[in-house]
Structure formats: C-alpha cells, structure tokens
Chains A and B, each alone.
Chain A
Amino acid sequence: MTVDTQISAPQRSLPEATALKMQRRHARRLSIFDPEMVRQAAVRSFAMLDPRSMMRNPVMFLVELGTVLTAIVTVQSIVGGAAIGLIVYQTALTLLLLLTVLFANFAEALAEARGKAQADSLRATRQDTPAFRLDSIDSDTGHSVPSTQLRTGDLVLVEAGQVIPSDGEVVAGVASVDESAITGESAPVIREAGGDRSGVTGGTRVLSDRIIVQVTSEPGQSFLDRMIALVEGAIRQKTPNEIALTIVLAAFSLIFLIVTAALYPMARYFDLTLDIPTLIALLVCLIPTTIGALLAAIGIAGMDRALMANIIAKSGKAVELAGDIDTLLLDKTGTITIGNRRATQFVPLGGVSDRQLARLAGLASMADSTPEGKSILDLARPVTAVDGEVPAGSQFIEFTAQTRMSGVDLPDGTRIRKGAPDTLARYIQDQRGVIPQGYQPTVDAIASHGATPLAVAENDRIVGVVKLEDILKQGIRERFARLRKMGLRVVMVTGDNPLTAKAIAEEAGVDDFIAQATPEAKLAYIRKEQQGGKLVAMMGDGTNDAPALAQADIGVAMNSGTQAAKEAGNMVDLDSDPTKLIEVVEIGKQLLMTRGALTTFSIANDLAKYFAVIPAMFIVTLPELKVLDIMGLATKGGAYSAILAAVIFNAIIIPLLIPIALKGVTYRPVGAGALLRRNLLWYGLGGVIAPFIGIKLIDLIIDPLLALVGMV
C-alpha cells in the first residue's frame, strides 16, 4: 500500500526528512507583508469598493453605506457653511470610515494575493508543452500536439527528459519521474502501469525510460487548475460555518443598527439633535467590523496553509470539516512504524553467549541485502566485528522458496543458517540435532509481543533467536497522545495478523486497529464509525482504496496514487506523506478557532467604545455623563477627539490583526476546556481591555493634532 516510492534515494533518518520538508515549506512560505503583494492588494482594495462585491459581506457593506451617507452630510455641511471644526470632524470621519472599508478589502485582497502567489508557482509548471499523441496503445505512430488540445482518454508517449503534458495514468511502461515541481521533493519517484503508483501529474518530468500515459483531465480541469481556481477565489464558496458566522455577524450588526438608530429619537426627548455622522461613527464602532473585515481572509488563509503543507483541498469546506474529524484511519507501515522490521535483540539459547550468537547471525546475514538482513548486521556490529571475519572461500546460501532459509557455509565446514523458527526446527530435526530447551517458549514469547522471531542454527544445533521488530516512528506515541487530547481516535490499519497488530497497536498507543485489513474491511469500519455520528478521515493511494476514500468524510489521496484514488478523496497530498492527516486536522481546527477568537474579540471591543462615544455624544445635554468617560478622553473640542479615537482604533485594529487572520490562532492540543479558557482570556478579556488602552493612546495623539487645525 504505502510503500516507499523513492528509488535510489538513501534511507533518510526521520529528523533529516522532517528538516528537509520544513526547509521546503519554508521556501514556499511568504512573508506576510511581502511588498509586491501588499502593492497588489492595495490596488485591489479600491476595486473591491464596488457595492456589488461588497454585498457579499453584510457587515462591511453597512460600513460602506455609512461612509457614503457621512460623505453626503459632510458635503452638506461644507455647502451650508457650517463651523470649521464640524467640517474638519466630518471630513475626518468620512475618510476614516472609507479607510475602514479599504482595510477590510485589503485584508481579503492580501490573502487572495498570497493564495495567488502560491498558485502561480504551481501554474508555472503548467506551461503549454508539446505532447506526442499516439494513435493507439500498440502503435508507435502519432503526432505532436500542444498539451492544451489533449482530451480525456488520449494516449501520449512521454520519454526521458520530457515533461508530462497532463494529469493522467500510466497505462504502459515504468519510469522514474521528477515531481519536485509540485512537491518540492527532489528525489525521483517511480511511476508504473498497473498497481497503485500509476498516477502522474501534468508538469512533472520523466527522468528515465518511457511511459504511455492516458490523459484523465480536460484542459484547465486538472487538479492543479482546479486548485489554482480555488485559491484565487473564483469558485470559493462560503463554508457552512462561515455562513452561520455571517448570520451571527449580520444579526449583531442589525442589533447595533437598532441601538444607534433608536438613540436619535431618544436624544430628541432630551431636546438634542444628534449629528448623523456621529451616529454612523458609533454604529461602525459597534458592528463587528474586525471579524467582518477579516472573515474572508481567514477562510482563504486556511486553504493557503493547507497548500503550504502541500495539500490540495478540493474545497474550503473540506479544510473546515477536517477540524471536526473524530476518527483517523492511519496505515501502520510508513505512518506508525518505519517501513521495515528491524532486528532489536539476540536471544541466545543452549549455553551460547550473546557475542557468539551475534557473530553467527551476522555472518549468516553478510550476503543478505534485505532490510531485515542489514538490520541484523547493524545490531551485530557493535557486539562483534563480523565484517573482518568472513574467511575467503565462504559460500553464501541464498534464500529460496524451497529451503526457506539462508546462511553461509564457512571454509572450515561450519554451516550457519537462519530462517523461520518452524523451518529451522525441521532442518535441525532432520539432522537429529539439538533443539535447546526453551526454544519454543522463546519463539512464542517474541511472536506474542508483535515481533517476528528468526532462528539461527550452527551446524546441527540451534544457537538462538533474533527478534525482528516493527520500529515505531520517533515521537509517534507523543503524537497520538496529542491527538487523543484533541479528542481524536486513532485507528491503525495493517495487513498483519490480529495478534501482531494488537501488540503494535498497544505499543504505539492507538485506540483501535484493523488487522488483516482489506479495502472492504476499511470501508466497513468507516461506515460503522459514521453510523455512530463520527467523522472519519483516512489516507489512501490505491484504486481499491477509492470506495473508502469516497466514504470517509475526509479522504486524503496521495499524489503518487492512482487517478481513481485522487478522484475519490477530497484532498490530495502532494508529499504522499501518511502522517499528513494529523496536520490536516490541525489546520481545520485552527481555521475555526481563528474565526471564533476574532469574533469574540470584535464584540468584546464594543464595551470600551461605548465608554468613549456615549459620554462624548451627550456632553452638551447631559454633562453628568462625563463620569462614564473612565478613560478621561479629551473633551475640549466638542469631544470630537474621543469619537475619532474610537473610530481610528476600530479601523487600525483590522490591519493589526491581519497577521493573526493569515497565520491563524495557535492551536494547542490541550483539550476543549483549556483551549476555550485560553482563547477567552486572550480574545475575550483581552478584547475588553485592549481598546481601553488603544483608544486612550490614540486620543492622546490626536487631541494635539486637532488643536493644530483649530478645533479646540
């Protein structure tokens, strides 16, 4: 299933591989305020003022309407020859409100620009390449066409050095392919007809041999194209949680519209006619502009983060859904354990010393090039210097299906053999040799721990057993503990027998396992979990994984996998890294958290704004309310300073929070309660306190400025 598809690449140690991946990610990561992107976004934020596009965002649309209204009143004041102070104040308000809208547009445009930049780097691989279209699979005849003319079902021949013109499936041949253009991974991978490694991506390069590829996507419809469209927002639809949140925000806006609108007649009772721009300023301060401005950016940034992790999500909804996953189906090999079994222990029997057994096992494995054989040598080397001991004239016995054992015959006549315990026992019995006491119990004990026993014999006696174990990936237990704290159940999928599977499952600390797993068993397991209301995520690559990938709520197909698998899943992992599911879940959670935290922050901000604006509004008729101005804001110039300070704070908090919107609120796997308390403290309580400080500071700055223009 998830076999290592890299060829000729040396086995990298885990930290090394991680470091490489991080390095590659880093290359993709863009600085948040990249000058070029900032410029693009700034230009676009003006274009986005078009009311038709603003209407998608009810909160900011309301601000835009308010801006227009304020501008009209300001013009009236100017024409009507109002006091210079009032004109300056109203003009300042108009500009500030406009700035608020522009900041919101800027946040969205910047997020889009980042997505676009990511997409562009991928699009670069999609340049129009010539393709050699075959007439039929058996013939060598055909003609060269531009890749844009390829249709689903076309067969193209790709030879070494050529670029694969379109997404497709290898139908004949085998080749090594450089996919670094997409994955950033420099090591080539093997793609071959049949099996689970037949999918190729347009834009990747064939390094050796030749393959015939059947095109599986129409031009402009490949995964890359779809993703590019997605991140560029062309088909970005609001996700379910985003819709719900938009409703909450619209309702809050409506509440504050009622509150501010009602203030006008209420003030009439006190024989006060409130200034319309001031009311609009209050309204804009109160409605959740902060989250309203950043909502779209948060959503785009979520997909962007997925993309940075080299995951193509087919929709924003899929990314969001990932946060809700309850159960993860993870393959054992490659995800939980490193690829192959390794020798971990020598168990000598019948009075043989540890060192002797190591030496014999090492000698028997000298010519064994399987990973298991190498691991025996690795284990033996520190104990005894076997390498120097192979005498000339030694004859190595290869493993064959008939003998089911391997070993070496030394020139002095010593025969050393290793093999499965029962095979070797029969081999010794045939020679009427010695099977030491405790042999069978040792073998059984090793097997029951989920490890594989390998017996070693010298001539006619068994000298001991080598324990071959599945080696857990470094830190995988901690990772699963993290997942459990996040509320996820991890299920290990393995082809091993139940006994072995159980032992490994216990060691790795997974919650459940599917042993002797078939695609049907996986599908059944997913259905069972879903019937209990759980959301399941899985990763797969083979065509026979496709039903399970489609059934799972989040199906991540490996890019190395077949086209069928990629079609069935709702995400594609360009790295083909089985641990990626964990990251997918974290990205989803982060997305939701960021929205929740910034909404809370936005609404919590309002309290301080009341304390700033309300006393200022009624300073003339109800001077007693000055007591409520706990920030002690300047009131000399008709309290304009306090109102302007509130509006300025409301506007600049948007760009200040763009980094949080784009990076996401830090997710910690500490359980829901602790997470909520933490976020409430930062964004709830922080949201109450921050504006008190911010508004006061701004007031301190602008009051002298207003004095300069003669308003005080």
Chain B
Amino acid sequence: MGFNLAWLHPFWALGLPIALSFPIGWSMFRSLDPAPDRVGRGLDALPMFLCRLLGRRKPAEMDWKRYALAFLAFNMALFVLTFGLLYAQQYLPLNPDGKGSLGALGYKDAAGVDHPGADTGVVFNTICSFVTNTNLQHYSGEQHLSYFSQMGGIVWLQFVTPAAGLAVMLAVIRGLRGDKTMGDFYVDLMRILVFVFLPLCVILALVLVANGMPMTFEGAVKASPLDGAAAKMDTQTICRGPVAALAAVKQIGTNGGGFFGPNSAHPYENPSVWSNLIEITEIVVLPMASLVMLGLMLKNRAHAAVIYGAMLAFLVVGVVLAVHYEVQPSAATENLAVVQGPNMEGKEVRAGAISGATWAAMTTATSNGSVNSMHDSLNPIAGMVAMSNLMLNVVFSGIGAGFLNMLMYIIVAVFLAGLMVGRTPEYLGKKVEAKEVKLAMMAILLHPLLILAGAGLFAATDWGAKTTANPGPHGFSEILYEFSSACANNGSGFEGLGDNTPAWNVATGFVLLMGRFPPILLPLALAGCLATKKLVPQTAGTLKTDNLTFFGMLVGTVLLVGALSFMPALVLGPVADHLMAMKP
C-alpha cells in the first residue's frame, strides 16, 4: 500500500483546529469580556445598539438566578416560535416545493403500519432537538421542510442556541472569577452572535459556496436520468436550497443538523475534499477556542491548559481507536470473495473510511452530530468510541456546554484530591462544600440516569425492541446510541433505528430537554455559589489545579466515573457485538 493522502485527515482534523483555537479564543476573550471601560465603545457599540433596539438601555447586573431566568425565558420563546413555524410552514413564504406542515408527517409504527396525518410528536421532537442545540433529526430536511423553515427555524436556532450555551459559560466564568455580577444574558448573546458566529459563518458560507455548495431559494430540480429506463425512473427530483448558509453554522456551532437527511455525506452538503476538510475543522474549533478564552478570562492559562489537555487526550485516543478499527474490514465481508479493505459500509465513497472514522470520533466528542458516514455501519469498536464520547460528554462537547460539563467532573476531582491532600477542597481559591458537591453530583448523575433508564425501558419493550434494524447486541447498540446522542445533545444516530414513532419522539424529546437545561443551569447555580465565597489564599498545602498531577486526576475521574456508569451497557452493546463478530 502506497502512501494514502487520506491519512492526512486525522492530522488536519486535529492540527488545524488546535492552531486556530488560539487566535479565535483570544479574540473571543477580547470581544466577549470587554474591560468595563471598553463596554459599548468601539466595536462593542454594535451589540449594545442591537440590544437597545430590543429595549435594553444598558447591561443589567444579573446574579445567577436572573441569568438563568433570562436563559430559560429566551429558550421558551424559541420553543413557542419555532413550534408554530414548523407546524404552519405551508402557510408561510419560501416554500417553492409546497411542503406541508411538519405536523402532518405521519409515521410507521412498530408493526410496520403507516400512520399518515397528524402527529405532533415529530414537531415536538424537532423543536426540542434544535432548541437544545442537539439537532437530532427524525425527519429529512430536504423532504419535509420549506426553505423558510430551514432558514427561519433551523438556521436561526443553529445560531442562537450555541450562542446561549456560550453565554452561560461566560456567566459561569465570571462567577468562578468572583465577579460581582454574572453579566447580562442578552448582551452576552448579542456579542456572541455579532462577534463570533456572524463573521465566521459569512466567511465559511462563502468558502463553501466557492467549493460548489448550493445556495438558492429555487425549488427542487426535476431531471430526466440518462438511464431512466434501466432505473425505472422517468424523472428524478433533485433537492437543493439555501444549503451553504446552513452547512456553515451547522458545523461551527456544534449543531450538526443537516439540510439533507444524509447530512455531510450528501454531495450538496459536502461537495469536495476541501469542503470536507473545512467542515471537519469547523467541528471542534469553537469548543477548543472557548477553553483558550477560559484561560484568559480566569487569568489562569495553566488551569485552562489542563482542561484543554484532558479533553484533547480523550479526543486523540478516540480518533486513533476509531480510525484503527475502521481501516479493518467489516466482519460482514469476511470470507466473501471481495478485497478485504477498510470498512466501507455506510461510507461516502469520496470521503473514505479514514475520513469517516475521524469525523465520527470528532462529531461525537463535540456535541456536533453531523456525519459524513453512517455510524450504524461503523465496526463495533469504532461505534463504541462514538458512543463513549457521547456518554462521557466532556470531550470538548458543546461550545460552552462542554466546559460546563467538565466543570462538574472538576468539582468531583477537586473534592477527592483535596481531601487526599488533607485540606477542605478548594477550586480556584473557593472552598468546595456540601452545596457545590450536591450540584455537581446531580449533574453527573443525570447523564447515566437518562441514558440507562431510557435505553433499559426501550430495550425491554416494543417501543425500542421492535424498531431496531438488527437483532442482538447491534440492535441494542442502536437504542443505546439514540438515548446517548439525545442526552449528550449530539444529534447523530445509529440510523438503522426506526425512530420516527411517537414513543421515540416523545422519549428522546424529553431526554433532550433534560440533557440540556439541568446540565447548563446546575453549573450556573454552582458558579453563583462559588462567586459569593471568600477567596482562600494559595499555600504550599493547597491542591494545584494547574499541573500534570491534576491533569491525571481529572482524566482518571472522568474515565472511572464514565467507565463505571456505562461499562455494563457498553459490554452488552458494542463489546458483545464485536466479540460475536470475531467468533470463528
């Protein structure tokens, strides 16, 4: 085998975002956390002006409760507005293909019976999914959504929901820093949109268009295939639309919800090798940059480096494992008269196995969830890497949300390590006591609760057991993956699963909400607690959170808690799947 350019993929996918995270993180720090004397001056006048249009004269000084309330109120508004939009899209403009209400999608039940007509389940699920920055899709965008729904509903949410997550991270950092106020949610949101998402997306969308991605409001094209007779198809409907606008923010905002059902495996959503590399870079760059911003805001770069390093370690191991197992042949082709090469099942042929595996590891590590290969077809261990990323949910994860998740593990690590050095545990100079520990443990507990209880319930009942595409461990993996993805607000899926049923729509919708709001609000409350505490001076007896020892402690804590929570489920799913495939 000669040198294969595809091997550049993992290096590009890790190296470029790391390099870019520093300048972007620095500019986020400069623009999102301006010194008091720079507020509203220079470029900052723009978001302030926009806030004034919304009726906010000057930034409020919110404590954690008011900040949380603003965050919730904003999300509630999003929920109501987009629900109406998707439900009534047939009455709204920009619908050249005359798509009906998403609520009239209908579904096929476990027994294979079609239920056409009214079903609000999918609308509920879709809204939950997009409001929570998850983008789990139980519909296919190109078939079921009007351009207005895509632009005004999906893309809009893809802008504001990651921005809302990042805003909470800003507030939490201010709390950890001991600021008097945690900031103003609306101002933070506006700054993030103006200084981070809009500029990045404009640039990226233009680059993607230049790479051949469609960006049009014209309806689908009806084409006559050259081999129509052979394919028994007179006309072919080729869907298109304002793809580039969505694809840019889909990737950069850890969203992942595609314009087309097959997501970035679709040639219009990922037209070339370059678009593939750009999109893979976009996946992880902002979560990384947010940690650079963290270090600068806390004035504690070493601590941020520990967190960055811990996440990067998990990511690198994940990518290595996934690629390693995907370049192995699939067990399905064993003993067949075909060339035993990399596992190409479910892969976009243009992208190949290495790119697919790299993407799979990175999209599940972050809470992105876009795909350029089908995760259901990954070899079991590669699939387990993707699933483990979702279960740990701290490998960069969502923009802002990733740090918030990790913060909970940091608190637990600090608590145990603090006791082990013989002092009341401290984090960033604040004592960690019963209340903080309670909040952190609640957040950590929620994740296995939602995933395991959900997967258990659906595995044991027809709700799940009858919707799997495969029997045995692989089918179980599909169920487990769906709940993991929903809970981690990721949005990818083992898509053999027939998940557009009322049971799945309602259950995952609920898990989506529970996987989003408590894990964001609990750290906010925790930061609010710590903010009011007295700063304890550092001494030689203080546990350092900015060195290699704590790095090890943190990685160990995540690994141990993660492994202990999910190991039995993983053993029954992908591990058993793998072992059974290896059977002679």
B27 within 8 A of partner (CB): no
Segment at the interface with A among B267-275, B303-311, B317-325, B557-565 = B557-565
CB-CB under 8 A from B423, the residues of chain A are 323-324, 589, 592, 672
Asked if A241 and B564 sit within 8 Å, CB to CB, the answer is no
Q: Which of A617-659 contact B (CB under 8 A)?
A: 618, 622, 624-625, 627-628
CB-CB under 8 A from A487, the residues of chain B are 539-542
Asked if B422 and A593 sit within 8 Å, CB to CB, the answer is yes
Asked if B537 and A534 sit within 8 Å, CB to CB, the answer is yes
B419 within 8 A of partner (CB): yes
| A264/B437 contact (C-beta < 8 A), A255-B565, A324-B424 known | no
| A596/B553 contact (C-beta < 8 A), A251-B442, A266-B572, A269-B459 known | no
B536 within 8 A of partner (CB): yes
CB-CB under 8 A from A308, the residues of chain B are none
CB-CB under 8 A from A590, the residues of chain B are 422
Asked if A672 and B540 sit within 8 Å, CB to CB, the answer is yes
Asked if A261 and B556 sit within 8 Å, CB to CB, the answer is no
The answer for the CA separation of A532 and B534 in the assembled complex, in Å, is 9
Asked if B420 and A676 sit within 8 Å, CB to CB, the answer is yes
Which single residue of chain A is at the shortest CB-CB distance from B539? A487
Pick from B476, B543, B563: contact of A676, CB below 8 A. Answer: B543
Which single residue of chain B is at the shortest CB-CB distance from A326? B539
B434 within 8 A of partner (CB): yes
CB-CB under 8 A from A588, the residues of chain B are 422
Asked if B564 and A244 sit within 8 Å, CB to CB, the answer is no
Asked if B572 and A622 sit within 8 Å, CB to CB, the answer is yes
B421 within 8 A of partner (CB): yes
CB distance from A275 to the nearest CB of B (A): 15
CB distance from A247 to the nearest CB of B (A): 5
B-contact 0/1 string along A649-685, CB 8 Å cutoff: 0000000000000000001000111011101100110
A603 within 8 A of partner (CB): yes
Which single residue of chain A is at the shortest CB-CB distance from B543? A672
B-contact 0/1 string along A381-394, CB 8 Å cutoff: 00000000000000
Asked if A684 and B575 sit within 8 Å, CB to CB, the answer is no
CB-CB under 8 A from A677, the residues of chain B are 549
CB distance from B70 to the nearest CB of A (A): 29
The answer for the CA separation of A695 and B535 in the assembled complex, in Å, is 46
CB-CB under 8 A from A12, the residues of chain B are none
CB distance from A600 to the nearest CB of B (A): 6
CB-CB under 8 A from B448, the residues of chain A are 255, 258-259
B417 within 8 A of partner (CB): yes
| A241/B560 contact (C-beta < 8 A), A269-B460, A596-B418, A614-B568 known | no
The answer for the CA separation of A588 and B543 in the assembled complex, in Å, is 16
CB-CB under 8 A from B568, the residues of chain A are 259, 262-263, 266, 610, 614
A256 within 8 A of partner (CB): yes
The answer for the CA separation of A597 and B418 in the assembled complex, in Å, is 10
Asked if A251 and B441 sit within 8 Å, CB to CB, the answer is yes
The answer for the CA separation of A264 and B479 in the assembled complex, in Å, is 15
Asked if B419 and A593 sit within 8 Å, CB to CB, the answer is yes
Q: Which of A227-276 contact B (CB under 8 A)?
A: 240-241, 243-245, 247-248, 251-252, 254-256, 258-259, 261-270
Interface size on A, residues (CB 8 A): 72
The answer for the CA separation of A223 and B121 in the assembled complex, in Å, is 69
The answer for the CA separation of A593 and B425 in the assembled complex, in Å, is 11
The answer for the CA separation of A618 and B573 in the assembled complex, in Å, is 13
B261 within 8 A of partner (CB): no
CB-CB under 8 A from A597, the residues of chain B are 419-420
The answer for the CA separation of A241 and B415 in the assembled complex, in Å, is 10
Which among A262, A595, A673 has the highest number of chain B CB atoms within 10 Å? Answer: A262
CB distance from B26 to the nearest CB of A (A): 30
CB-CB under 8 A from A680, the residues of chain B are 417, 420, 549, 552-553, 556
Segment at the interface with A among B42-50, B392-400, B576-584 = B576-584
B20 within 8 A of partner (CB): no
The answer for the CA separation of A212 and B417 in the assembled complex, in Å, is 54
Asked if A323 and B424 sit within 8 Å, CB to CB, the answer is yes
B456 within 8 A of partner (CB): yes
Asked if A244 and B421 sit within 8 Å, CB to CB, the answer is no
Asked if B537 and A532 sit within 8 Å, CB to CB, the answer is yes
CB distance from B409 to the nearest CB of A (A): 12
Which single residue of chain B is at the shortest CB-CB distance from A535? B536
B77 within 8 A of partner (CB): no
CB-CB under 8 A from B569, the residues of chain A are 259, 262, 266
Asked if A679 and B452 sit within 8 Å, CB to CB, the answer is no
CB distance from A67 to the nearest CB of B (A): 22
Which single residue of chain A is at the shortest CB-CB distance from B430? A533
CB distance from A285 to the nearest CB of B (A): 11
The answer for the CA separation of A597 and B416 in the assembled complex, in Å, is 8
CB distance from A177 to the nearest CB of B (A): 37
CB-CB under 8 A from B464, the residues of chain A are 269
Which among B421, B453, B534 has the highest number of chain A CB atoms within 10 Å? Answer: B421
Asked if A248 and B441 sit within 8 Å, CB to CB, the answer is yes
A606 within 8 A of partner (CB): yes
Pick from A261, A618, A673: contact of B547, CB below 8 A. Answer: A673
B61 within 8 A of partner (CB): no
A485 within 8 A of partner (CB): yes
CB-CB under 8 A from A251, the residues of chain B are 438, 441-442, 444-445
B247 within 8 A of partner (CB): no
A604 within 8 A of partner (CB): yes
Q: Which of B433-452 contact A (CB under 8 A)?
A: 433-434, 437-438, 441-442, 444-445, 448-449, 452
Which single residue of chain B is at the shortest CB-CB distance from A242? B434
CB-CB under 8 A from B575, the residues of chain A are 625, 628
CB-CB under 8 A from A262, the residues of chain B are 452-453, 455-456, 568-569
CB-CB under 8 A from A488, the residues of chain B are 539, 541
Asked if A604 and B434 sit within 8 Å, CB to CB, the answer is no
B412 within 8 A of partner (CB): yes
Which among A484, A532, A592, A595 has the highest number of chain B CB atoms within 10 Å? Answer: A592
The answer for the CA separation of A595 and B422 in the assembled complex, in Å, is 9
CB-CB under 8 A from B535, the residues of chain A are 533
CB-CB under 8 A from A243, the residues of chain B are 434
A599 within 8 A of partner (CB): yes
CB-CB under 8 A from B445, the residues of chain A are 251, 254-255, 258
CB-CB under 8 A from B572, the residues of chain A are 266-267, 270, 618, 622
CB-CB under 8 A from B433, the residues of chain A are 240-241, 244
CB distance from A30 to the nearest CB of B (A): 24
Asked if A248 and B412 sit within 8 Å, CB to CB, the answer is yes
A93 within 8 A of partner (CB): no
CB-CB under 8 A from B553, the residues of chain A are 676, 680
CB distance from A560 to the nearest CB of B (A): 30
B567 within 8 A of partner (CB): yes
The answer for the CA separation of A286 and B575 in the assembled complex, in Å, is 21
Pick from B418, B442, B576: contact of A625, CB below 8 A. Answer: B576
A163 within 8 A of partner (CB): no
B522 within 8 A of partner (CB): no
The answer for the CA separation of A264 and B549 in the assembled complex, in Å, is 39
The answer for the CA separation of A488 and B539 in the assembled complex, in Å, is 7
B-contact 0/1 string along A461-500, CB 8 Å cutoff: 0000000000000000000000011111100000000000
CB-CB under 8 A from B177, the residues of chain A are none
CB distance from A60 to the nearest CB of B (A): 19
CB distance from B570 to the nearest CB of A (A): 10
Residue ranges of B at the interface with A (Cβ–Cβ < 8 Å): 412, 415-424, 429, 432-434, 437-438, 441-442, 444-445, 448-449, 452-453, 455-457, 459-461, 464-465, 472-473, 475-476, 479, 534-537, 539-544, 547, 549, 552-553, 556, 560-561, 563-565, 567-569, 571-572, 575-576, 579-580, 582-583
- Besides A262-B452, A596-B417, A600-B420, 9 other A-B contacts (C-beta < 8 A): A248-B437, A258-B448, A262-B455, A266-B476, A286-B564, A589-B541, A596-B421, A610-B567, A675-B421
Which 3 pairs across A and B sit closest by C-beta, in order of nearness? A487-B541, A596-B419, A589-B422
15 contacts between A and B (CB under 8 A): A243-B434, A245-B415, A247-B434, A262-B455, A265-B459, A269-B460, A269-B475, A323-B422, A486-B541, A596-B418, A610-B567, A614-B567, A614-B571, A624-B579, A627-B579
